[in-house]
Amino acid sequence: MNEQRPTGWPGDPVEAPSIEAIEKAARRLKGTIVRTPLLSLVSHEGNTEIYLKPETLQPIGSFKVRGVGNWALSLSEEEAAKGLSTTSAGNTAQAVGYMARELGVPSRSLVPETLHEGKRRAIEAYGTELVGVSMTDLMIYMFEEGWREEPYCYLNPWGEPLMISGHGTIGLEIHEDLPDVDSVFVPVGGGALLSGVAAALKTLEPSVRVYAVQAEVNSALAAAFTAGGPVWIDWHDTIVEGASTPVITHNMYPMLQDLVDEVVLVSENDVRTAMRRLALSDKLVTEGAGAASLAAALKVPLSERGSSVCVVSGGSVDPLLLAELVASE
């Protein structure tokens, strides 16, 4: 770990969105997003009381279109005309490209140089210009505000309030469909998805237990909770690359600390098993981050978690990896 590096961007901590802001986002997003259903997990072992929220059904196959859409649709014509840009592990860039195409403007994104070819092709299909950099350089670009030098309108993929409110619409829908839900499992990268979903559910039903899910090899949130604040971890390649960062920012940390009840770490094998199960039994194609929530829920006894919802966040999986997993025993 290296605590001398910057752990966030200038400015105050990000505040959790109000339920009014989330409801406004839901109205703004009508016609842009899919209102995804809750599906009972297919199980031959009896009722697991696990429900899946398949954000793989969104237009880009990821929840990101909720937050990016809420932000992009709030821009003035003059702002949007500049074009849209962001920094992303893949799915945010795809959502930015999708919304830029809808608005008829150009788009670009910095992405990790390790981005797999499947995600790269999916993003470039929208005409988005991609710039590959190391994960550390991507973070520094955000924290030192290198994006201020570019002409496009930039989206902070973690701390933009409108993005977090857009993600919060998932929590609204969960409460509408399962008002007596006991717990929710949400994969965590920068924390925008988790904070939006948790803010909505904790407002509507404070007793809901929020489990934050990360890969064992890249557990930045768990490391921050242990240290009492943001620290950098040694970042490793992982099947959960869509929800994996080397640091939780000091801007997001206080909000996550307030909203998260427990962090659950999942192994690479846990996630592979969950991806295979979702593909074969539930007919849902997911990426590692998308299946991580189910992998985590299966580790927590029913007596502890109660009725649970797993946010299946995205489906941008490398086709070769998917074929390998489906064919494996």
pLDDT for the residue numbered 136: 83
CA separation (Å) from 44 to 47, 48, 267, 281, 282?
Answer: 8, 9, 23, 10, 12
Question: In this structure, which amino acid lies at residue 175?
Answer: H
Give CA 251 to chain center in angstroms: 17
Confidence of residue 181 (pLDDT cuts 50, 70, 90): very high
Query: In the chain, pLDDT over 90 holds for what percent of residues?
Result: 80
pLDDT at 182: 98
For residue 42, pLDDT over 90 is answered with yes
In which residue are the tokens 């939006």 written?
A: 196
For residue 244, give Cα distances in angstroms to 219, 288, 313.
8, 10, 13
Q: Which two tokens stand for residue 10?
A: 């200038």
Give the neighbor-by-neighbor strand order of the sheet with 39-40: 39-40, 50-54, 308-312, 183-187, 209-215, 262-266
Higher-pLDDT residue of 119, 127:
127
Per-residue model confidence (pLDDT) at position 328 = 85
The mean predicted confidence, pLDDT, of the chain is 94
Mean pLDDT of all residues in 185-208: 97
The domain spans of the chain are 19-62+161-327, 65-155
Is residue 14 within 8 A of residue 161, CB to CB? The reply is yes
What does the pLDDT look like over 199-232, one tens digit per residue? Answer: 999 999 999 999 999 999 989 999 999 999 999 9
Q: Residue 289 has what pLDDT?
A: 94
Distances (CA, A) of 122 to 60, 127, 264, 328: 9, 10, 30, 26
| Least confident stretch, 81-85, 88-92, 124-128 | 88-92
Percent of the chain with pLDDT over 70: 98
- Cα distance between residue 253 and residue 184, in whole Å: 19
Give pLDDT tens digits for 45-76: 888 999 999 999 999 999 999 999 999 999 99
Q: Which of 313, 176, 193, 160 is nearest to 260 (CA)?
A: 193
Q: What is the mean pLDDT of residues 131-157?
A: 90
pLDDT higher at 89 or 103: 103
Question: pLDDT tens digits for 9-34?
Answer: 998 999 999 999 999 999 999 999 99
Query: What fold is seen in the domain 65-155?
Result: Rossmann fold (3.40.50)
- The domain 19-62+161-327: what is its CATH number? 3.40.50.1100
- 96-100, 139-143, 269-273, 306-310: range with lowest mean pLDDT: 139-143
Q: Are 58 and 122 in contact (CB under 8 A)?
A: no
Answer for the pair 91, 64: CB distance below 8 angstroms, yes or no: yes
For residue 105, pLDDT over 90 is answered with yes
Q: Is the pLDDT of residue 1 over 60?
A: no
Buried (b) or exposed (e) across 260-277, using 16+ Cβ within 10 A? Answer: bebbbbbebebbbbbbbb
19-62+161-327 and 65-155 have identical folds = yes
Rounded Cα distance, 75 and 70, in Å = 9
> Which residues are 112's β-sheet partners?
133
Residue 3: pLDDT band (50, 70, 90) is very low
Chain Cα centroid distance, residue 126: 20
